[in-house]
Amino acid sequence: MEEKRMPLIGERFPELNVQTTHGKIKLPDEFDGKWFVLFSHPADFTPVCTTEFVAFQTRYEEFKKIDCGLIGLSIDQVFSHIKWIEWIKENLDYSIEFPIIADDTGKVASKLGLIHPAMGTNTVRAVFIVDPKGMIRAMLYYPQELGRNMDEILRMVKGLQLSTEKGVAIPANWPNNEIVKDEVIVSPASSFKEIKEREEAQAKGEIKCFDWWLCHKKA
């Protein structure tokens, strides 16, 4: 019997054929070669979810600038999604441009681990950040009563992109870290040879170090 569990960070995003407000698409192939954020919400026509969709939409251009797509999901029919999008446009004057998965059977949510028994049949507020190779790089879970911080999700994508490109780690509150400001962390040395190399790099001004295990540099 096939094991059913939520996918984990570092695993490939499951292959899914889904119905969306933009038609039928296949994941993760639809975003092949680019990053994407899949986020689930409990239900259409609910207060917190409405604020979240407006918040995502206002940052949609910022996501596109870093080559990252957005796609929503809930256990609602596509007709409900469409009507909700129309309501948001008519009443709040925001046009939702990204697709929303209509998972009225709950199969997609079940496969992604988005249904918690204590929450009934509604999907939890979850976020999957997926890289251009279709690998899950980060996951976030929120309770129903707490809306998400979209600036943090945008920051996470930017940080993961930089980490992937430069082979560095991203400090807390980057790019406004209390210790290293907007610089990035150099991976800790794991041998005496690497410690020596860190000292030489520091002498050349290529990196800065508080100690051999805590070095940083400009991105």
For residue 187, what is the domain's CATH number? 3.30.1020.10
Question: Residue 55 domain-assigned?
Answer: yes
Tell me if residue 215 is catalytic.
no
Please check whether residues 112 and 55 belong to one and the same domain.
yes
CATH code for the domain of 89: 3.40.30.10
62-78: pLDDT as tens digits:
999 999 999 999 999 99
Please check whether residues 85 and 55 belong to one and the same domain.
yes
Own/partner contacts of 44-50, CB < 8 Å, gap of 24 or more, are 44/74, 44/76, 44/80, 44/81, 44/83, 44/84, 45/80, 45/84, 45/87, 48/144, 48/145, 48/146, 48/147, 49/74, 50/84, 50/88, 50/92
Q: Give, in order, the Cα–Cα distances in Å from 51 to each of 54, 91, 147, 182, 209.
A: 5, 13, 8, 30, 43
Tell me what the mean pLDDT of segment 170-184 comes to: 97
Please check whether residues 27 and 120 belong to one and the same domain.
yes
Q: Which of 49, 68, 209, 215 is catalytic?
A: 49
Please check whether residues 35 and 113 belong to one and the same domain.
yes
Q: Alpha-carbon torsion 144, 142, 47, 45, what sign?
A: negative
Give the domain range for residue 142.
Answer: 16-148
Q: Which amino acid belongs to residue 204?
A: K
pLDDT confidence bin for 192, thresholds 50/70/90: very high
Q: What percentage of the chain has pLDDT greater than the value 70?
A: 95
Question: Residue 3 domain-assigned?
Answer: no
d(CA 163, CA 157): 10
pLDDT confidence bin for 118, thresholds 50/70/90: low
Question: Given its phi and psi angles, is residue 127 left (phi above 0), alpha (psi -120 to 50 degrees) or beta?
Answer: beta
pLDDT attached to residue 177? 98
SS3 201: helix
Please check whether residues 57 and 84 belong to one and the same domain.
yes
Q: What is the largest CA-CA distance in the chain?
A: 64
d(CA 106, CA 163): 34
Question: Residue 38 domain-assigned?
Answer: yes
pLDDT confidence bin for 29, thresholds 50/70/90: very high
Tell me what the mean pLDDT of segment 139-156 comes to: 94
3-20: pLDDT as tens digits:
457 899 999 999 999 999
Question: Residue 107 domain-assigned?
Answer: yes
pLDDT confidence bin for 2, thresholds 50/70/90: very low
